[in-house]
Amino acid sequence: MKKISDELQFDMTRSGFGRGLVELGKANKDVVVLSADLSESTRIDWFRKEFPDRFFSFGVAEQDMISTAAGFALSGKIAYACTFGVFAAGRAWDQVRVSVDYMNLNVRIIGTHAGISVGEDGYTHQALEEITLMRVLPNMTVLVPCDFVEAKHATIKSAEWKGPIYMRLGRNKSPIITDENDPFEIGKGVLLKDGGDITIVACGQMVYEALKAAEYLSKDKIDARVINIHTIKPVDESILIKAAKETGAIVTAEEHSLHGGLGSVVSEVTSRNHPVPVKMIGMTECGQTGSPQELFKCYNLMAEDITKAARAALKMKK
Amino acid sequence: MERPDANKLKTQAKELRKTILKMLANAGSGHTGGSLSLVEILLSLYFYKMKYDPRKPDWDMRDRLVLSKGHGCSALYSVLAEAGYFPKEELMTFRKFGTRLQGHPQLGLPGIEASTGSLGQGLSIANGMALTAKMEKKNSRVYCIMGDGELNEGQVWEAVMTAAHYDLDNLCGIVDNNKLQIDGWCKDVMNMAPLGDKWKSFGWNVIECDGHVFKEIMNSLDKAQGAKGKPTVILAHTVKGKGVSFIENQARWHGIAPKKDELEKALKEIDEKDQ
């Protein structure tokens, strides 16, 4: 892992996916890619250039694309169906449920342009609900890589995984905080910074904000632990229970709805195993047009907001 | 391929209708009308057209059937048992707790290619199978049976575009055109006429036939296989509830099963018919 004081590079998680997919195409002949008219935006045009025979276009028809991916998987393929998060999880949810999840198929649903960080496109395009919508499905694995490198790792690892996967990716360039050599295992949380006073659990771009928040807190002699949960489901319960036991309070951070998102996941795990106060940073209303920075500020998703929540959680600690 | 004996098929159809009615009555619920309309279509597929091996349900080169109108599954189950996929005794577990013969088709029962029942998804799934077969240069064919009411679903027309876009001549759609849906006559609930023209304008080869006349269905299936460069749809004109006078053409028989006295009456009527 890189230190946030380092000179950080920036790139897009969707590009990490696009790079990983090309590697997968070379390594695995069973990988097919499905597009719903967003092949450049979702970065699958890189795969198309290399493997045109395994690339299929469906036009603006997400429902058809998802069920067709199921047909490919039923015939032995590993099908990557790619579009924006809102369309993958929202418009085609019943297709995801019946055609993909209930049949437990090797379909990978890639939702890019997720989160409030989509920015200027406005609220129709800011997917804030897919973690919830996808994790309620019994067989679905849900991945939220935190940066370009992790997205590439997650993509490469996804081919061997059994059963369906939803992967949430962003539009904008965000700081690269993981390293090419960092291990990546689906279902395993990552301890980014140890600490004994409180734990900050984050996913996606909010992991960087969490690391910044931990740095701010350290100035006040508050030693915060930071955990990156790149796999929302199946979640790494042990890393969360350990954090609850050892630090006694948790703050969660996500650019996603608080109804059913990462905060809910962490609360479910802790309340079942070792209840501690959990404060949550995330969305409670629909978004609007603006730059990612403006929107993060408007909806209290900044490192400063995490810091504030951490102080409140500390007060609730027994 | 040699055609099965016409009289034998007719006898099979009679027996199948009786089995379907018994399964539904035994279950106490289910979809009578849209199962009885499927009998001749399914028999033509499984006892004439499709290549498969019930001892090897996962055989790579098999032809596949996706029953997109999953509610017609009592007919499919009884044909699959007849074809040897599983013992006929299992048919009477239909819709009972713990059965492989679920209320709508579910992966896990040999011969079932996809879980269906949420209407409109089957043709897309069939497209994925047909695209894979083309990509792998396998000559297996894919069939997809849809209801005419089901064609209201927008996704069907997305899939119709896809099949034409990819020239899926290894795919054959079959519409069980029984003219009724849950709320009444299709033309009153959502008029989709002229149906054949719609498919044609989307780039499909269209064949119409009487969906209860074996010779017509088998001719249509042969023609579909012979048509190159585009997918074919067979609009099979059928009667909802076919074979039992008091069930035929009644929308209310879409989602109910015969009671004991109705079953007896129906079985008697089928037995007494010439064919």
The interface predicted TM-score of the complex, written ipTM, equals: 0.96
Three-class SS of residue A254?
A: strand
Rounded CA separation A207/A182 (Å): 15
Query: Is B113's CB within 8 Å of A74's CB?
Result: yes
Strands B171-177 and B142-147: parallel
No. of helices (H) and no. of strands (E), chain B:
10, 7
Write out the H or E segment, with its range, that includes residue B6. helix B6-27
Q: What is the CA radius of gyration of chain A?
A: 19
Residues of chain A found within 8 Å of residue B166, distances taken between Cβ atoms: 56
Chain A residue at shortest CA distance from B163: A58
Candidates A229, A228, A198, A230; CA nearest to A214 is: A198
Residues 6+ apart with CB under 8 A from A26: A50
Distance, in Å, from the CA atom of A121 to the CA atom of A124, rounded to the nearest integer, reads 8
Architecture of domain A10-175: 3-Layer(aba) Sandwich (3.40)
Q: Which of B58, B61, B119, B125 is best to mutate for the A interface (most A CBs within 10 A)? A: B125
Mean pLDDT of B20-43: 98
pLDDT digits (tens, 9 = 90+) for A87-146: 999 999 999 999 999 999 999 999 999 999 999 999 999 999 999 999 999 999 999 999
CA A249 from chain center: how many Å?
23
- As annotated, the residues of chain A forming the CATH 3.40.50.970 domain(s) are 10-175
- Distance (Å, rounded) from C-alpha A128 to C-alpha B233? 41
Question: Which part of chain A has CATH 3.40.50.920?
Answer: 190-316
Closest Cβ opposite residue B118 in set A32, A71, A94: A94
Which uninterrupted H or E stretch holds A257?
A: strand A250-257
- Per CATH, the number for A190-316 is 3.40.50.920
The pLDDT of residue A5 is 65
Q: What is the three-class DSSP state of A192?
A: strand
Select from A68, A77, A97 the Cβ nearest to the Cβ of B127: A68
Residue of A nearest to B108 (CA): A103
Contact B128 A74 (CB under 8 A): yes
Q: Is the pLDDT of residue A1 over 70?
A: no
Structure tokens at A36: 């719903």
pLDDT at site A78: 98
Calpha distance A36→A84 (Å, rounded): 9
| Nearest CB neighbour to A71, from listed B117, B120, B125 | B125
Strand partners for A193: A226
Instruction: Give CA–CA dist A155/A33, Å, rounded.
Output: 13
Q: What is the rounded average pLDDT for all residues in chain A?
A: 97
B6-272 in CATH: which number? 3.40.50.970
Count other C-beta atoms under 10 Å from residue B210's C-beta.
Answer: 15
**Nearest CA to CA, how far is A88 from chain B (Å)?**
14
What pLDDT is stored for residue A146 in this prediction? 98
The answer to whether the CB atoms of A95 and B124 lie below 8 A apart is: yes
- Residue A237 · residue A245 · CB < 8 Å: no
Q: State whether B127 and A71 contact (CB < 8 Å).
A: yes
Pinpoint the alpha helices (H) of B88-194: 122-135, 154-165, 186-189
CA distance A254 to A114: 11
Taking any CB pair shorter than 8 Å as contact, residues of chain B touching chain A are: 107, 113-118, 120-122, 124-133, 135, 154-155, 158-159, 161-162, 165-166
pTM exceeds cut of 0.95: yes
Q: Number of residue pairs across A and B with CB atoms under 8 Å?
A: 96
